[in-house]
Amino acid sequence: MQTIGLIGGMSWESSAAYYELLNRGVERRLGGLHSARTMMASVEFAEVTALQEAEDWDAVAAILAEAGRSVERAGADFLMLCTTTFHRVADQVQDAVDIPLLHLADVVAESAVAEGVESVALLGTRFAMSRSFFTDRIASHGLAVQVPGTQHHDELNRIIYDELVHGKVLDDSRRAVVSMISELWDAGAGGVILGCSELELLVKQADSEIPVFGCTTLHVEAALDRALG
């Protein structure tokens, strides 16, 4: 079993989900008392969020690169960023280490292609939806990518940062997000990517009539495939 390196803390709710799913996945696949071999470096969410809002991406990259180096030194065989928004600096993190980084956008795009989906919608933070770093990487796999209308960006951002990162899962917010998914379906999306780990706390496949691709779940399954060979 390979050792999985995790860069977490963005948010800790997301990182906790990664840790739980990785261990449950190993137990499901191997049985008995088996658990995942992991190394995690958890950064301070408020610090990196403030730097993100200030557009100081060099500073963000420096923090996450050092976190990556620390788990590499601790024996990790490959690396995961437990976040979507901060994949903005994934290339800089990859350049800072000698182990491979399992890029979230590649994992999700490959899953959508395997399902025969040609057009996907991305739900995530306002930053992830309004910039192209993540959607372009998905599109490089031959997929058409759309995001909700800008009138929904603030609401999604509020749900993520004011509720979900604090563990608050509210029915009103679920209905609001499901309504956005319906709009995207009407606009031609053949599937929806929950492009923020915390959104998987809120929306499940049963809530949607089109395929739902949960970033955390798919990222974890790809990591288990690699770690267990």
CB half-sphere exposure, 27, CA atoms < 13 A:
9
| Peptide bond between residue 11 and the one before it cis (omega within 30 degrees of 0) | yes
> Which residue in 38, 196, 216, 217 is the catalytic one?
196
Tell me, yes or no, if 196 is annotated catalytic: yes
- Three-class SS of residue 8? strand
Q: Per the residue annotation, which of 38, 49, 82, 83 is the catalytic one? A: 83
In 72-225, DSSP assigns E strands to 78-81, 119-123, 144-146, 191-194, 212-214
What CA–CA distance (Å, rounded) separates 121 from 152? 13
Query: Residue with structure tokens 């610090």?
Result: 47
Longest dimension (CA), the chain: 49
Asked about 135 being catalytic, the answer comes back as no
Q: How far apart are CA 165 and CA 149, in angstroms?
A: 23
For the annotated catalytic residues, the residue numbers are 83, 196
